[in-house]
Amino acid sequence: MYFDRPEARLRFLNNTRTKQVERQAKLQHSLRHFRFLKNTIVYDWLLEARCYSAILEELRAMSPSLPRNRRNLAQQIQAPYSARLFFLFHQSRHAFYGAMVIIAGLMLFGVYSLVSWSAGWVKDAIARNKRPSIYVVPAGEAQSDPAATIPAKYLPYKPEAIWKYESKADYEKWSNGCRILREYETDNRPRAYYTIPRGSETDGDQFSDKIVGIIYHTPESGIVPFVPDNNETIQKRSRRLLETVRERKLYNYMIDRYGDIYRIVRDEHAADHAGYSIWADAKNTYVSLNDSFLGVCFESKFDGAESLDDILTPAQINSGRLLTDVLRTQYGIDDANCTTHGLVAVDEKKMLIARHHDWVRNFPFEAMRLSDKYKIHPPSMSDYGCTYDIDVLAKLGNKLWEGALSAEEEFNRRAGEARVSPDDLRRKLQARYHSQCAKARALRAGPGEANNPQLAEKPSGAGEPTESGND
């Protein structure tokens, strides 16, 4: 059918026979470990298919030299279907090899991703169950008052002896010696929040604009040694910090390194100092404390400081005590609601404590005539199940305050009484916290935006001054 010239027939016969012999040898070599198949129908089927495939391949190879009317005659050859499959595979083998390489690559990538994810999950699980050694900071550590010329026990808090006796455009004076400068006063937004009865499952129904507490901060701005030779630099940096704090409305009060007290955001307005935060007294729980608490900032740098002497000057401690007495008297603030930023700040996504860690230890509660908040259970842990991971511990130098460890035990006991796992209870309380924060945001946004899911709370401590930001 194909070849009308004898030499073409001979060449076709020789080439085809050579291929068939080679393929029979390859087949025998491939089945050398399965010699029993040589006497079965499987061997005969494979050999027949490969030999017919050799015929089809040789016809295809020689077809360009044939007349056009003979090139499609291969369809008339009575070759088995299996032989045609072998031939088709041979023709498309390079595309098939490429597809196999791609599939193998995808499978390897999938296996790698699965192994990486599994390794990360195991690492996190181990980290959760095997935390680094934790050192408990003893309650009352670094509570001495280096500024006090008279021991604090001889200076009791007497609200009846505190009143404002002079008010001018640029300052006001109080009977306990507190002098508040008004040079940097500014407005922000009126206070507005919901009170949440402690232990309830509500998002809060009772509106309030009352000031209920004080949160103490440091701005983590760059400082220089407090010595006479640095006097000009100290004053220059304080002025720049005050201007930044006023511009960004970060605190209600700031106490510079000389002990001068400046009012920044007016008391009736909320400063942006606490963001995602949780605190509670015996009666109520408070979330997003910007609107319910005053922010008092000591110009200093907490990070890296080992003791109170490294953080505050004696003048700052004296002024902090005087201002605390004034604010408590003016607004009827309970001692229980005078706390620090490090004890209230939380990571709202992971529900971890100490998102900001200024004053997570060393705050001089006794010098401010306040009870030691490092001894009590932080409500973020005992009431909402916030916890800590290895990153938080590393940030804190693997040191936790006394109340944090006992709060974790209290939360686990609470989960046991409710007959749920701590993780399940933690997820439930996390959802409640997010709902409470959303309601607080809606209240501040006003009726027109109350249902806007895109409203985002300004992060805790957002925009706080840094060393580079104030130089």
DSSP state of 306: -
**The predicted structure's pLDDT at residue 451:** 39
Lowest pLDDT segment from 228-237, 260-269, 373-382, 402-411 = 402-411
**The predicted structure's pLDDT at residue 450:** 38
**Sign of the torsion angle spanned by Cα atoms 325, 328, 329, 330:** positive
For residues 173 and 49, which has the higher predicted lDDT (pLDDT)? Answer: 173
Q: Does position 129 have pLDDT exceeding 50, yes or no?
A: yes
On average, the pLDDT of the chain sits at 82
**What number is the average pLDDT over the span 332-355?**
94
Q: Does position 363 have pLDDT exceeding 60, yes or no?
A: yes
**The predicted structure's pLDDT at residue 459:** 42
Q: Does position 433 have pLDDT exceeding 90, yes or no?
A: yes
**The predicted structure's pLDDT at residue 84:** 67
**The predicted structure's pLDDT at residue 211:** 97
What is the distance between the alpha carbons of residues 175 and 164, in angstroms, rounded to a whole number?
Answer: 6
Kindly report whether the global pTM for this prediction surpasses the value 0.85: no
Q: How much of the chain, in percent, has pLDDT values that exceed 90?
A: 46
Tokens of 98: 């490429």
Tokens of 317: 């401690």
**What number is the average pLDDT over the span 245-250?**
96
**What number is the average pLDDT over the span 266-270?**
97
Q: What secondary structure does DSSP assign to 17-74, as a single string?
A: HHHHHHHHHHHHHHTGGGGGGGGSHHHHHHHHHHHHHHHHHHHHHHGGGS-GGGTTGG
Q: Does position 365 have pLDDT exceeding 60, yes or no?
A: yes
Q: Does position 166 have pLDDT exceeding 80, yes or no?
A: yes
For residues 9 and 433, which has the higher predicted lDDT (pLDDT)? Answer: 433
pLDDT band at 372 (very low <50, low <70, confident <90, very high): very high
**The predicted structure's pLDDT at residue 143:** 41
**The predicted structure's pLDDT at residue 212:** 97
pLDDT band at 144 (very low <50, low <70, confident <90, very high): very low
Q: Does position 328 have pLDDT exceeding 90, yes or no?
A: yes
**What number is the average pLDDT over the span 198-207?**
85
Cβ proximity of 157 and 426 under 8 Å: no
Q: Does position 453 have pLDDT exceeding 80, yes or no?
A: no
pLDDT single digits (tens) 9-61: 788 788 878 877 887 777 777 777 777 777 777 777 777 777 777 777 777 77
**The predicted structure's pLDDT at residue 216:** 97
**The predicted structure's pLDDT at residue 470:** 37
DSSP state of 134: -
Cβ proximity of 293 and 279 under 8 Å: yes
User: Mean pLDDT highest for which of 3-7, 147-151, 283-287, 417-421?
Assistant: 283-287
What is the distance between the alpha carbons of residues 298 and 22, in angstroms, rounded to a whole number?
Answer: 90
Provide CB contacts within 8 A for 368, sequence distance 6+: 320, 321, 324, 338
What is the distance between the alpha carbons of residues 34 and 24, in angstroms, rounded to a whole number?
Answer: 15
pLDDT single digits (tens) 373-416: 999 999 999 999 999 998 998 888 888 888 998 888 889 888 88
Provide CB contacts within 8 A for 294, sequence distance 6+: 211, 213, 214, 215, 252, 253, 267, 271, 327, 331
Cβ proximity of 219 and 465 under 8 Å: yes
pLDDT band at 455 (very low <50, low <70, confident <90, very high): very low
pLDDT single digits (tens) 72-126: 665 666 667 666 676 666 666 667 778 888 888 888 888 888 888 877 776 666 6
**The predicted structure's pLDDT at residue 380:** 93
**The predicted structure's pLDDT at residue 384:** 92
